[in-house]
């Protein structure tokens, strides 16, 4: 939802900051690494039970996550390598943060409630995979009610109001599951429109190859007959 409505506006607003950071000599990769370090500190802090302090480090994690792309654009160093590193770091950051929440719940709550953030993390990875696979096939899988930016915002609220942590996590789980369904349906519809044409092309290709083989064999026999006749 954030990507579709506000991503472009936010990126434009961060462009001047990206130019300022570029002049200091800092690179986008360094900013990404700083974000991973902040996420690691946040995960340990949350796991130790200091949820409000974890909220602060979570905010500090979001700053590098927002600025690395701005620095890359300002310096003209955007590349497939950088995009890959940024995407991998996002998945790693998600795993660290929700792992920290699971660690905290395992230490403070009875039963298996610590599996709730693990389930959210699994759904988040599934959503990311849906987008990556769809885009590799030429489809659009962006959108949904609970994308990564929304998950980080809701997680921040859960850490700030620790007494509501579990109810907020349940809300996040439901909305993340809905997002997974939304993306699946979106790509399924796009692929369903393309499938009849693709199927026709697949049926035509064997026939075309068979026709080409037949014509080639006919020409070969004609050449052999001419050779015998001329010889």
* Known active-site residue 90: yes
Q: Which of 90, 94, 194, 230 is catalytic?
A: 90
Kindly report the number of other CB atoms within 10 A of residue 178's CB atom: 14
User: How many degrees, rounded to 5, is the angle at CA 119 between CA 53 and CA 131?
Assistant: 100
Sign of CA dihedral 60, 65, 71, 77: positive
**Per-residue H/E/C for the chain:** CHHHHCHHHHHHHHHHHHHHHHHCCCCHHHHHHHHHHHHHHHHHHHHCCCHHHHHHHHHHHHHHHHHHHHHHHHHCCCCHHHHHHHHHHHHHHHHHHHHHHHHHHHHHCCCCCCHHHHHHHHHHHHHHHHHHHHHHCCCCCCCCCCCHHHHHHHHHHHHHCHHHHHHHHHHHHHHHHHHHHHHHHHHHHHHHHHHHHHHHHHHHHHHHHHHHHHHHHHHHHHHHHHHHHHC
- Residues taking part in catalysis: 90
């Amino acid at each position: 939802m954030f990507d579709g409505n506000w991503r472009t506006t936010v990126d434009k607003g961060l462009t001047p900051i990206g130019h300022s950071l570029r002049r200091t000599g800092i690179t986008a990769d360094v900013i990404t690494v700083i974000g991973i370090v902040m996420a690691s500190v946040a995960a340990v802090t949350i796991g130790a039970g200091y949820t409000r302090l974890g909220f602060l480090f979570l905010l500090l994690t979001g700053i590098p996550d927002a600025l690395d792309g701005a620095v890359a654009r300002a310096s003209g160093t955007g590349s497939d390598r950088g995009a890959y590193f940024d995407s991998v770091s996002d998945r790693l950051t998600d795993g660290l943060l929700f792992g920290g929440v699971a660690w905290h719940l395992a230490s403070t709550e009875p039963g298996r409630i610590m599996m709730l953030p693990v389930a959210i993390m699994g759904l988040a990875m599934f959503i990311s995979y849906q987008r990556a696979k769809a885009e590799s096939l030429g489809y659009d899988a962006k959108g949904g009610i609970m994308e990564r930016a929304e998950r980080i915002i809701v997680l921040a609220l859960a850490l700030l109001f620790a007494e509501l942590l579990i109810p907020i996590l349940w809300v996040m789980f439901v909305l993340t599951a809905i997002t997974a369904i939304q993306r699946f349906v979106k790509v399924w519809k796009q692929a369903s429109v393309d499938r009849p044409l693709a199927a026709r092309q697949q049926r035509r290709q064997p026939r075309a190859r068979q026709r080409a083989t037949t014509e080639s064999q006919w020409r070969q026999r004609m050449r052999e007959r001419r050779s015998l006749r001329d010889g």
